[in-house]
Amino acid sequence: MEEFEPKIVGFFCNWCSYAAANLAGVSRIKMPANVRIVRVTCSGRVDEKFIFKAFSAGADGVLVCGCHPGDCHYQKGNLGARRRVMGLKPFLEAIGIGGDRLRLEWISASEGGKVADTVKSFTQTIKELGPSPLNGRRNEH
């Protein structure tokens, strides 16, 4: 049997984690290729609709990355993202998608290694969880 390769959507803030992902790339740090990165202007831009859209389109996991608290270019965008993710986890859990399929991480522009570690560990988590039930359901139709 082929190993399950999760599809993960990563919403990365332009000012920090997106740059860090670039840095990881040019530094040739190895990481799984499961994360499709969407560049956003700020983690605060990632509202629940983005996250649900990713799941509805077949994502097995969603990773939101932003600047560390205090470092957001729009002051409190990342604080909103944190509250949102904290609130959405129990929701995803309650309807059987699973709260662990959503993760938030703070990664500054210089933390290329943290991008790789985050992607590795999140991919591993999703592998253990298996395909998203929404994903499976979509395929039935």
Partner 1 sequence: MKGDMYIARAADKDILKIGENGGAVTSLLKFALESKMADAVVAVKAREGNRYDGIPVLITEPEKVIETAGSLHCSSPNIARFLTEYLDGASSSKLAIVVKPCDARAIVELAKRTQINLDNLLLIGLNCTGTLPSAKAKIMMKEIFEVDPADVAGEDIEDNVLTITLKDGSEKKEDLAKLEEQGYGRRENCRRCEINIPVMADIACGKWGTTNKETTFIEICSDKGSQFAQAAIDGGCITIEQPSAASIDDRNKKDKAAIESAKQWQEKDFSRLEKMSSEEKFSYWFTQFHQCIKCYGCRDACPICYCKDCFLEADRGYIPPGEIPPDVMFPMVRIAHVMDSCVNCGQCEDVCTMDIPISLLVFLLSKKVGDIFKYEPGMDVTKLPPLRTTTDKELTLSGVDIDFEP
Which residues sit at the interface with ligand FES, rule CB under 6 A? 13, 15-16, 42-44, 66-67, 72-74, 77-78
Nearer Cβ to partner 1, position 6 or 103?
103
131 binds, among partner 1, ligand FES, none (CB under 5 to 8 A by kind): none
Stretch that binds partner 1, among 11-19, 24-32, 33-41, 88-96 (CB under 8 A): 88-96
CA 72 – CA 95 distance, rounded (Å): 32
Buried b / exposed e over 57-75, threshold 16 CB at 10 Å, is ebbbbbbbbbbeeeebeee
Shortest Cβ distance from residue 103 to partner 1 (Å)? 8
Task: Choose which of 83, 110, 121, 128 interacts with partner 1 (CB under 8 A).
Answer: 83
Shortest Cβ distance from residue 51 to partner 1 (Å)? 9
- Sheet with 8-13, edge to edge strand ranges: 35-40, 8-13, 61-66, 102-106
SS3 content of the chain, % helix, strand, coil (to 5): 50, 15, 35
Asked if 34 and 127 count as a contact pair (C-beta separation under 8 A), the reply is no
Interface residues with partner 1 (CB under 8 A) are 48-49, 52-53, 55-56, 68-70, 75-76, 79-80, 82-88, 90-91, 94-98, 103-106, 133-134, 137
